[in-house]
């Protein structure tokens, strides 16, 4: 294809309201951020607990960079496996009750590592229709057969498991869904995986740090953490940093170290990312009030949305989708909010399915009542204007 062919495709994205452009952030992550030169209260961040700018984490990074420098200097299997990374892996494994843990440069590479190394030809990967793109990409690249079950149901999953005929079946789900804010039926999935001898992989990216005892996630909250075969999460959401990890048996982790191409062929995560995640875990364990504030804020905002009769699907938590339908409508409403001082970008296909474009409102523990009341009024007004 030539440049002009790509140009035509870009124009077609523009016509469908699906063209994307990056905004430029000009200040540290927090509840109020300078974006494209203007200060906005942000309702779109995954920095749920406000840790991205926490003084203890900044201190850990400053001290860490003095001692460790910045880059790790090599892949983990060559010379990029640092003491802070080893320490963090041990801490995460112990905290979550798994035999071992593997830290990777991102959550995306963690999911890719799990699926491409463990599953292959003759296997079935079956997953909730709304799992994160990194799971879909890993599953597609694995060579295994790939099926989905409709979100919020398990009938099709049961049928597929009953049918059998595969070398190994992998059941994969997000625990807290990133665009809908509802939770997977983990207790039911555990019962099914036990009955049919499947392997259960749970992506706790959006729950880790915020949900369950000590922020251990939805499986811990549901009392089934010890039944999960492979636990995955990231440092890029509640922990306010960057990096991902996988917790599982010693054998699975050793297998990934030896087989996962997205682990082997990439430079090891910088030591300071691990020191930052370690400091974030300290705060999460020592300051439960941050989680309480986050959940209190989410309850408050959902109540306000209910009063205004705004549709937020099945959301129970701090990810609150305001489902608007056409992409163009979501863009218009997001623009009105922007002029009122709020940042909540439109989420459109391919991130969500066609006709379900939305504002993905994400709450932070740092939001004030005035922030949330202001957003609510602005949203009601914007929707009335654009109806």
Ligand X SMILES: Cc1ncc(COP(=O)(O)O)c(C=O)c1O
Interface contacts to ligand X, rule CB under 6 A: 106-108, 111, 132, 134, 174, 178, 203, 205-206, 234, 236, 244
Nearer Cβ to ligand X (277/382): 277
Nearer Cβ to ligand X (141/336): 141
Q: In angstroms, how far is CA 306 from the centroid of its own chain?
A: 25
Nearer Cβ to ligand X (260/383): 260
CA separation for the pair 240, 238 (Å, rounded): 5
Angle between helices 369-386 and 327-339 (to 10 degrees): 130
Q: Write out the H or E segment, with its range, that includes residue 149.
A: strand 145-149
Tell me how far, at minimum, the Cβ of 232 lies from ligand X, in Å: 7
Length of the chain in residues, anyone?
A: 387
Tell me how far, at minimum, the Cβ of 111 lies from ligand X, in Å: 6
Nearer Cβ to ligand X (206/293): 206
Identify the burial level of 357 via C-beta atoms within 10 angstroms of its C-beta, where 0-12 means exposed, 13-18 middle and 19 or more buried: buried
Tell me how far, at minimum, the Cβ of 179 lies from ligand X, in Å: 9
Tell me how far, at minimum, the Cβ of 174 lies from ligand X, in Å: 5
Nearer Cβ to ligand X (84/310): 84
Residues 6+ apart with CB under 8 A from 137: 108, 111, 112
Nearer Cβ to ligand X (203/229): 203
Nearer Cβ to ligand X (108/305): 108
CA separation for the pair 333, 318 (Å, rounded): 20
Tokens of 111: 């999911």
Tell me how far, at minimum, the Cβ of 384 lies from ligand X, in Å: 32
Nearer Cβ to ligand X (203/366): 203
Nearer Cβ to ligand X (61/372): 61
Question: Do 89 and 253 meet the contact criterion of CB atoms below 8 Å apart?
Answer: no
Question: Do 267 and 74 meet the contact criterion of CB atoms below 8 Å apart?
Answer: yes
Residue nearest to ligand X (CB): 107
Question: Do 227 and 200 meet the contact criterion of CB atoms below 8 Å apart?
Answer: yes
Return the closest-CA partner of residue 381 out of 335, 350, 349: 335
CA separation for the pair 172, 182 (Å, rounded): 16
Tell me how far, at minimum, the Cβ of 135 lies from ligand X, in Å: 7
Tell me how far, at minimum, the Cβ of 278 lies from ligand X, in Å: 17
Burial call 113-135: b when 16+ CB within 10 Å, e when fewer: bbbbbbbeeebbbbbbebbbebb
CA separation for the pair 213, 353 (Å, rounded): 33
Tell me how far, at minimum, the Cβ of 255 lies from ligand X, in Å: 21
Tell me how far, at minimum, the Cβ of 309 lies from ligand X, in Å: 29
């Amino acid at each position: 294809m030539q440049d002009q062919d790509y140009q035509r495709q870009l124009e077609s994205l523009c016509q469908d309201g699906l063209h994307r452009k990056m905004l430029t952030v000009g200040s540290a992550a927090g509840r109020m951020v300078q974006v494209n030169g203007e200060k906005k209260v942000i309702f779109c961040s995954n920095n749920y607990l406000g840790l991205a700018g926490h003084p203890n984490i900044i201190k850990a990074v400053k001290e860490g960079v003095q001692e460790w420098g910045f880059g790790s200097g090599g892949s983990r299997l060559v010379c990029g496996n640092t003491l802070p990374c080893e320490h963090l892996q041990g801490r995460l494994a112990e905290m979550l009750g798994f035999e071992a843990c593997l830290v990777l440069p991102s959550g995306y590479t963690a999911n890719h590592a799990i699926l491409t190394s463990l599953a292959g030809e003759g296997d079935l990967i079956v997953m909730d229709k709304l799992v994160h793109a990194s799971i879909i990409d890993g599953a597609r690249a694995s060579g295994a057969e790939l099926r989905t079950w409709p979100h919020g149901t398990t009938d099709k999953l049961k049928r597929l498991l009953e049918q059998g005929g595969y070398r190994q079946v992998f059941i994969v789900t997000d625990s807290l869904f990133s665009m809908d804010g509802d939770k997977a039926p983990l207790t039911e999935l555990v019962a099914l995986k036990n009955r049919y001898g499947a392997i259960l992989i749970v992506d706790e990216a959006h729950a880790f740090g915020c949900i369950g005892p000590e922020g251990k996630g939805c499986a811990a909250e549901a009392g089934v953490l010890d039944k999960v075969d492979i636990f995955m999460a990231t440092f890029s959401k509640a922990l306010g940093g960057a990096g991902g990890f996988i917790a599982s048996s010693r054998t699975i982790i050793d297998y990934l170290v030896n087989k996962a191409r997205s682990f082997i062929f990439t430079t090891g995560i910088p030591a300071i990312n691990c020191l930052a995640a370690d400091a974030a875990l300290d705060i999460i364990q020592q300051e439960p009030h941050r989680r309480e504030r986050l959940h209190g804020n989410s309850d408050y905002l959902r109540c306000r949305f209910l009063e205004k009769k705004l549709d937020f699907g099945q959301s129970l938590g701090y990810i609150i989708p305001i489902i608007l339908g056409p992409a163009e409508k979501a863009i218009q409403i997001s623009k009105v909010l922007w002029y009122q001082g709020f940042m909540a970008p439109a989420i459109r296909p391919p991130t969500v399915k066609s006709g379900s474009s939305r504002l993905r409102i994400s709450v932070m523990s740092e939001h004030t009542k005035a922030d949330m009341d202001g957003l609510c009024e602005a949203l009601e007004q914007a929707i009335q204007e654009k109806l």
